[in-house]
Structure 1
């Protein structure tokens, strides 16, 4: 029988999931929240007992009005604690978005004010720094058909002595 008191004493991890959606021209879909500065990938907090993928799908449906085609995980980014906020694991799933889907986007007005398709090199000009820092490694991993592991947006080398 599991020791429930022991498991209850363990630290809890916060998590978020986001969708890195590209159109046929390689532009990235960003959304603009009403409650904070900057542009972000569609996505949000992983709720209790929810998987990262389920959270990504749910958030896209809530924020965009449809579930995009997701092709797989491209990034896990561990964010260290800062400004009184606990650490967070962010899961980024890549997918595609069609022109018709973009035209059909219905943003929840109490949460999002706008959406845009942007060339990857323009993301640092629009996105919050903690979002922008994971874009280049995520896009590179997507192009290489792999996933990347980051800590505070910096790719971690595997196989090298630390």
Structure 2
């Protein structure tokens, strides 16, 4: 039987999930929230007992009115605590959005005011730094068919240490 008091005493972490959706020209879909500045990937907070993938699918349905094809996880970015906000684990899932899906997007007026497709190099001009910082590594991982791990937007080097020179 699990020690419920022990598990209840463990720290809890915050999480978010987002969809990095590209059209057939390689442009990135961004959405503009009504309640904060800047443009963001579709996505949001992972709810209690919800998986990152389920959160991404739910958020796309809520924000876009559709569930796009997701091809898999492309990035996990751990964000350090700052400005009184706890640390957060952000899961980015890569996928595609078709012209038909773009035409069917229905934004919730109380949450999002607009959507746009932009060339990847234009994302830093529109998105806040904590969003823009993971764009290039996420796009690279998507193109390579793998996932990448970041800490505050910086890639982590998992290469084994170099052997020490022999005495």
Normalising by structure 1, report the TM-score: 0.98
Per-residue CA distance 1:59-99 (angstroms, 9 max, x = gap):
00000000000000000000000010000000000000011
SS of the aligned residue for 2:35 comes to coil
Per-residue CA distance 1:5-38 (angstroms, 9 max, x = gap):
1100100010000000000000000000000000
How do 1:38-49 residues align onto structure 2 when only pairs under 5 Å count? 38-49=38-49
Alignment-derived partner of residue 68 in structure 1? 68
Q: CA deviation at 1:106?
A: 0.5
Q: Distance in 1 between matches of 2:100 and 2:143?
A: 24
Q: Distance in 2 between matches of 1:17 and 1:77?
A: 10
Q: Distance in 2 between matches of 1:105 and 1:2?
A: 45
Normalising by structure 2, report the TM-score: 0.95
Number of aligned residue pairs: 162
Q: CA deviation at 1:2?
A: 1.1
* Moved segments of 4+, more than 3 Å: none
Q: Distance in 2 between matches of 1:70 and 1:146?
A: 13
Alignment-derived partner of residue 157 in structure 1? 157
Q: Distance in 2 between matches of 1:56 and 1:92?
A: 8
Q: Whose Rg is larger?
A: 2
Q: CA deviation at 1:124?
A: 0.3
Alignment-derived partner of residue 164 in structure 2? none
Question: Does residue 145 of the first structure (1) align with residue 145 of the second (2)?
Answer: yes
Alignment-derived partner of residue 118 in structure 1? 118
SS of the aligned residue for 2:71 comes to strand
Please, which runs of 5 or more residues in structure 1 have no aligned partner?
none
Please, which runs of 5 or more residues in structure 2 have no aligned partner?
162-167
Q: Distance in 1 between matches of 2:80 and 2:25?
A: 34
Q: Distance in 1 between matches of 2:10 and 2:144?
A: 36
Alignment-derived partner of residue 133 in structure 1? 133
Alignment-derived partner of residue 92 in structure 1? 92
Q: CA deviation at 1:113?
A: 0.3
Alignment-derived partner of residue 14 in structure 2? 14
